[in-house]
Structure 1
């Protein structure tokens, strides 16, 4: 089997996939509990009352996005559909790119927590590739 799947057992890959689901649940929850703080972590700053309301609504959408992906990952993991978990995590790479782009093009540029986003993208992609190579 190609890399990275042969590094770990199927059970370990499943746990890593469920760990990604837990992480996404936490990020989604953060967007709902403190939308302004979550936006600040992406480098998005509200400067007027109207922009504050817009930022809050956008962060609710991002939280809902993360919850949807996490719920799907939990469901796939509980049904032992590891390959499907991997495909979902790999396709989520486009979301990682969008999040990084939003942070980099914000007023704080590369200082807006981009290293954390890049780290998350690398881990998510690695776990996704490992799961996508599972036999079932």
Structure 2
């Protein structure tokens, strides 16, 4: 792993938190885009607007919860815990990548995959950084 100072790893972890916050806000403010990205297609009975809102609420609240936890840990200087949380969110990233790929959104699939790899490296660096 790259030898960086704990404060640098902390700043990188806060960058991951900002990424999760951005994803959460996009989910809240662009529900149709989020639903389309993940392949949520309303049935004939459902109102498209209701389905998109529900999807946005689920994704947005999930992402903002992760961002909040990372910001709190980062502010407290808890790098190892930040790393553990970031590494645990890779499961969520994997599920998101699967859904985006299943929706045949290949550019977004590559973007999410590269982003998850970068976040994984940051999580590992935080987890392994000296106290």
State the alpha-carbon separation in 2 of the partners of residues 125 and 49 from structure 1. Answer: 40
> Structure 2: which 5+ residue stretches go unaligned?
none
Residues 25-66 of structure 1: CA distance to partner in whole angstroms, max 9, x if unpaired?
A: 111000000111122233444464716222320221111000
1:111 — aligned with what?
106
State which drifts further: 122-131 or 37-46: 37-46
TM-score w.r.t. the length of structure 1 is: 0.86
Q: How does 1:90-101 map to 2 (within 5 A)?
A: 90-101=87-98
CA 1:39–1:73 in structure 2 vs 1: closer, same or farther (change >3 Å)?
Answer: same
1:30 to 1:48, Cα distance in 2 relative to 1, 3 A: farther
Query: After superposition, what is the alpha-carbon deviation per residue over 1:79-116, rounded to whole angstroms, capped at 9, x for unaligned?
Result: 0000000000000010010001111112xx25261011
Aligned length: 130
**Partner Cα separation in structure 1 for residue 47 and residue 100 of structure 2:** 17
Q: Structure 1: state its 5+ residue gaps.
A: none
Q: TM-score, normalised by structure 2?
A: 0.89
Indicate the residue corresponding to 1:34 in structure 2.
30
Give 1:120 deviation, angstroms: 1.3
SS in 1 for 2:46: helix
